[in-house]
A and B are shown apart, each in its own frame.
Chain A
Amino acid sequence: MQEQVTEKNNIITLEDLRPRREEKKTFSDYFMPRRHSGILFDPKKCTGCGTCEMVCSLRNVSKIAPASASIEVLRDEENGKNFAILCQHCRKPLCIEACPTRAIEKGEDGIVWINKLFCVECGLCIMACPEAAPLRDPITEEVNKCDLCEGDPLCVEYCPAGALTFTKGKKIRWIKGLRWSVQTISFLLLAVILVGTFCSLKAGALSLSCPAGILQNIASSGTIVLVWILSAFLILGLTILAGRFFCGWICPFGFFLDLVDKITPKKIGWPSFLKSRMAKYGILAGAVGGSCAFGFQAFCPVCPIGSICRSYGATGTLNGANLGIMAVLAGLEVGEWRVWCRYFCPVGALLALFAKIGLIKIVIGANQCKKFSCIQCAEVCPMGIIDADKLREGISPVIRMTECITCMRCIDRCPYGAAKLRFRWQKAVPGNIEL
């Protein structure tokens, strides 16, 4: 090894001496989430007594010396706020990047810690941390950072107000399994077993019908049939109750796109002129207008949801033209998740109009959220509506329910329980302060 290095350029760098440990995704990661421990802080409960600083300093300097602690309680004298600054144990820590001696390491258990053997107290980790969480001891000038007391933090134990809580993150993600099973069953029902069903399924006088199809029906025929409206309201009512639940959990084409995304997990992104979320409303208006003009349902023949239902014929044959539409739209997935649903789907557009007056909302509370250090919710959101920039700055983002398909991936993924499903009249979680 040594020989090779010398041959290369005569200089041994840190990369040769202590190469960075690479995160390997093991087989079990696909089934069980890797748990990230951390300390959550609730500023509402904090009384500013500073007991956490006292007990923390015991670990650093073996003295009661609040100034040498790895946690700092800020006391805002103008607004009466208290806030504890402590390491968030980021998923991708910036301090590790900035440390010139590679003294900071992230262990298997997710704890980011400073290896005092290599630390030279330069303080660049403080400069690289968005929260400036590593703290410099005023006397010894050592840089101290929370290492969660190796899994049993003293500050949490001794906080008299209960403002600090220790969490190991979520154990199982049950929503994921539930959603996939519901999606599979509804796909099989709608696309394979009950042929051609989603567009209109008879059940007595009523039928389960595609609301966009009904709208086109009304436009093309010029007559309003009460049964049509009632049958459309089966799905529209669901939308008012649970947002675009249909898109995330039932839609067979959505399921198909989710499957495609398993094949293309890396996204190249589309240019911004393609990405207009208003386009789908335009397509919906065009479909209704077209139906009015031509006298037949203008969009339904090319509708991908309809195509997927019709592609599998009653005789067991596959319909070539319909499969073609699906292949083209699946190709778009190379760029982003669920491109069709995001920008073009007129059925989604109609549901979005009803989701706007829906009863539920999804909130991501900045109190429990670990901000810049995690942002997993934004990464897993198939519709890309969680503002990662806002989260990084520590502002809880506003989630537009017209775009949200209530797939609850964010709720499932958040290790700290910050993403929640709420009724629209319930108070949003605090932390929405814009500066």
Chain B
Amino acid sequence: MTNGKDRIAEAKRSSGAYGCVECGKCVAVCPMAEMYTNFSIEMSPRGIIKKTLTGNDIILDENIWYCTECNAGTDVCPQGVSCRDLIRYLKEIAIEKYAVKDIKYCTRCGKQFLSIPVKNFVFGRLKEEPPNVLNILELCPSCRREMYMLRNA
């Protein structure tokens, strides 16, 4: 197993993070601005790329867990930096290296499928729904489909 520094360097290389010119286009389109009231530059893709390039404690940073891994930032980047891939790699490394609390596990199969801040956002939007619907949302998508089949087929 390679150590953390190498893995982060690999993540930076493969996502093209070195090419970042800090134009801020990704911040402009980032849906997190709409999702979280505490959206800040540290949380934005630009901030995370910058922190990844300058320091190593990015894995411990809780800001990476707010990301929904959408395609918006990657789509608009003039330099072809994939912030989606970068954050995905960072999360993978964090999960492997530390016991991460920011992850939601499926209550049926135990697979990790969502980070807690994103889950809180979804549940916050759906807070008017009855509790049994929200219980179903505790399952990972494939388990949900399976449960649905078992009940209805």
Contact of A123 among B68, B121, B136 (CB under 8 A): B68
B144 within 8 A of partner (CB): yes
Q: Is the interface of A mostly helix, strand, loop or mixed?
A: loop
Q: Roughly how many angstroms separate A130 CA and B71 CA in the complex, as a whole number?
A: 23
Would A395 and B151 count as touching, CB distance under 8 A? yes
B38 within 8 A of partner (CB): no
- Known A-B contacts A14-B34, A389-B132; A124 and B145 likewise in contact (beta carbons under 8 Å): no
Question: Nearest Cβ in chain B — how far from A201, in angstroms?
Answer: 46
Task: Give the chain B neighbours of A433 by CB distance below 8 A.
Answer: 150-151
User: Interface size class for chain B?
Assistant: 35 or more
Q: Roughly how many angstroms separate A120 CA and B70 CA in the complex, as a whole number?
A: 6
A237 within 8 A of partner (CB): no
B137 within 8 A of partner (CB): yes
Q: How many residues of A contact B (CB 8 A)?
A: 42
Q: Is the interface of B mostly helix, strand, loop or mixed?
A: helix
A334 within 8 A of partner (CB): no
Task: Give the chain A neighbours of B69 by CB distance below 8 A.
Answer: 122-123
Would A85 and B152 count as touching, CB distance under 8 A? no
Question: Nearest Cβ in chain B — how far from A425, in angstroms?
Answer: 25
Interface with B: A92-100, A107-115, A261-269, which one? A92-100
Task: Give the chain A neighbours of B132 by CB distance below 8 A.
Answer: 389, 392-393
Task: Give the chain B neighbours of A76 by CB distance below 8 A.
Answer: 146, 149-150, 153
Q: Roughly how many angstroms separate A435 CA and B144 CA in the complex, as a whole number?
A: 13
Q: Roughly how many angstroms separate A372 CA and B152 CA in the complex, as a whole number?
A: 12
Q: Roughly how many angstroms separate A372 CA and B136 CA in the complex, as a whole number?
A: 11
Other A-B contacts than A76-B146, A83-B145, A85-B148, 5 sampled, CB-CB below 8 A, are A100-B31, A127-B122, A392-B130, A394-B148, A435-B150
Q: Which 9 A-B pairs have the closest CB atoms?
A: A122-B70, A132-B141, A83-B149, A81-B153, A120-B72, A122-B68, A100-B31, A43-B153, A120-B70
Chain A residues within 8 Å of B, Cβ to Cβ: 13-14, 43, 72, 74, 76, 79, 81-83, 85, 94, 97-98, 100-101, 120-124, 126-132, 141, 366-367, 371-372, 388-389, 392-395, 431, 433, 435
